[in-house]
Chains A and B, each alone.
Chain A
Amino acid sequence: MEKGLTVRKIVIAGVLGAIAILLGVTRLGYIPVPTAAGNATIMHIPAVIGGIMEGWGVGMIIGLIFGVSSFLNATVPLFKDPLVAILPRLFIGVTAYLTYVGLKNVNQYVAIGVAGFVGAMTNTILVLGMAVIRGYMAPGVAATVAITSGLPEAVVSVIVTLAVVAAWKKIGSAGKQKSKISGDF
C-alpha cells in the first residue's frame, strides 16, 4: 500500500468482499464434510485472490469483511467469538500476497497456485490455533480437522485461484484492465 488506496484497490476490495459475503449468506461457500468443524469453506478464496491481484492491504480488508460476515452469520458457537472469526482472517490475503511476490519471478502459475495453497492453510491453521487457545477445541480434534477439511480446502483454493487469476491476468498477453489511470501500469 505504498501509494495508499487507489480507486482500483477500493473497488476490487469491495467487489471481492461482496463475493465473500454472498458465499457465506447463501451457504454456497460451505462444503459439508464429516468432521467436527462440519464444513470446509471456500470463503477465504476472495481474500486470496484480492491479495494476489492488488496487494496485502486489499487482501487484509477482504479478510476483514469475510471475518465480520462469518461472525455475523455464524451458526457454530466457535465463530461467534470475534477472536476466532475475525482476527485470523486478516492474514489470509497477506500471506497469499507475500507468497505470490516471493515466487513471481520463478513462474507465474506456480506462484499463483502456491499462494492459493498458502492462503487457505493460513486460514485453517490460524483459525484452529485460535480455537484451541480460546478453549473451543482440543488440540487433537483441531489437528484432525486441519487434515480432513483443511487439505481439501487448500486444493479447491489452488484450483479456483489459478483459474480466476490466470484468466484475469491473461498471462503472456495484454491485460483486460480498462482503466489506464490507476493500477500498476
Chain B
Amino acid sequence: MSAEFELTRNITIGQYLPTGSIVHRLDPRFKLAAFIIMILAIAICNTYVGNIFAILVCMWLFQVSKIPIHYGVSGIKPAIPFIIILAVLQLLFYGGIANGGTVYFEYGFVTITSESIRLVLVSAMRFVEVIFLSSVLTLSTSTTELTHGMERLMGPLEKVKFPVHAFALIITIAIRFVPTFAMEMEKMMKAQASRGADFGTGEWWRIVRRTKDMFPIIIPLFNVALARAEDLILAMEARCYVPGASRTRFAHYTANSKDYVAIVVSIVISAVMLGIPW
C-alpha cells in the first residue's frame, strides 16, 4: 500500500553507473556531440540492414562502456504494448499513405504494402536504438558532466546573444529540485491519504474521477515549488549573483586524441548506416 507513495524510488534521472570504462572517461562535450550525430542518423535511416547495423552498434557500445545490457532492455519492456498497438495501426492504415512498394493485401480501407511493413519494422527498431543510445549516454555520464558538456557545446550561441550560462543554470536547478519536489509530493500524498483521499484506485476509464484526484496534489505542489523559488531567488540575490557576468570555471575539459576518435567513429557509423542501400 505504501509503495505507491514512494515516488523517490522510481526516479532514475541522474542514474549513473560508474564502471570507469573508456566511454565514461570521454570528454562530455564530445560524447554529447557523438550522441547527437548518431541520433540524427537513426532518425533519417529507413533501411532494414542500416537499422540492424545500428542495433549491433548499440550492443557494442554497452559492451565497451561495461554497462550490463539489461539496463537498456528494462527501458524497452514497458513500451512493448505500445509498440504492438502502434505497429498494428500503422500496418492497417498506412498502406494508402506510404506510397510505393508491392501491394500484398487489400480489403476496403486496409492496404498492406511492402512499404507499410517497412515503416512498422523500422519504427520499432528505431525506438529500440534510441532507448539503447540514451541509456548508454545517461548511465555513463553524470548530470554535472552532462550540464557542463551542454553548456560548452552551446558556447558558440553566445555570439548571437543566447544566454548559454543562464540556460545551463536553469537545467542544473531543474535537475537539482526533482528529488526535493518528489519528497514534497510524497508528503502531500500521505497527508491527503491520511484524511481519506485515495489516489489512482479509481477504474482507469473514469477519467474525470482520476483527474479530480490529482488536484489536491498538483496545485499545492506548484505553490510549494514557487515558494521555494522565491527563497532561492532571495538567497541568490543576497549573494550578489548577476546573470550573464563573466566567470571562471572550476571544471576544465581538455580534449585528447580518444575524444576525436570518438567523434570520427560516430561519423563513420552514421555514414555506414545511411550508406547501406537495403
Contact = CB atoms under 8 A, between A and B. Distances in A.
B208 to A, nearest CB: 8
Contacts of A94: none
A129 interface: no
B226 A42 contact: no
Interface string A1-33: 000111110111111111111100111100111
Interface in A150-185: 152, 156, 159-160, 163-164, 167-168, 176-179, 181-182
Interface in B80-95: 82-83, 85-86, 89-90, 93-94
Given A8-B233, A77-B82, 13 more contacts: A10-B169, A11-B236, A14-B229, A15-B228, A72-B134, A77-B127, A136-B123, A156-B214, A160-B218, A176-B227, A176-B230, A178-B231, A181-B237
B185 A22 contact: yes
Nearest to A156: B211
A61 interface: yes
Interface residues of B, number: 73
Contacts of A141: 89, 93
Contacts of A5: 163, 166, 243-244
A83 B221 CA distance: 30
Judged by DSSP, the binding face of A is helix
A25 B78 contact: no
A140 B119 CA distance: 18
A138 interface: yes
B166 A77 contact: no
B172 A25 contact: no
Interface residues of A, number: 65
Judged by DSSP, the binding face of B is helix
B165 to A, nearest CB: 9
Interface string A121-133: 0000000000000
Contact of B207 (A14, A26, A33, A168): A33
* For the complex of A and B, 7 pairs with smallest distance between CB atoms: A14-B173, A17-B174, A18-B177, A77-B127, A75-B79, A15-B229, A164-B222
28 contacts: A10-B173, A10-B243, A17-B170, A17-B171, A17-B174, A18-B177, A18-B225, A21-B174, A22-B178, A22-B182, A25-B12, A28-B185, A31-B214, A32-B204, A36-B89, A72-B138, A77-B82, A81-B43, A136-B86, A137-B89, A138-B93, A152-B207, A152-B211, A159-B215, A164-B223, A167-B219, A178-B231, A182-B233
Interface of B: 7, 10-13, 39, 43, 78-79, 82-83, 85-86, 89-90, 93-94, 97-98, 119, 123-124, 126-127, 130-131, 134, 138, 163, 166-167, 169-178, 180-182, 185, 204-205, 207, 210-211, 214-215, 217-219, 221-223, 225-234, 236-237, 241, 243-244
Given A22-B178, A182-B233, A15 B225 contact: yes
Nearest to A164: B222
A14 B166 CA distance: 10
Nearest to A159: B215
A24 B127 CA distance: 18
Given A19-B221, A21-B13, A135-B119, A77 B124 contact: yes
A72 B141 CA distance: 14
A10 B170 contact: yes
A78 B138 CA distance: 21
A65 interface: yes
B263 to A, nearest CB: 20
Nearest to A20: B174
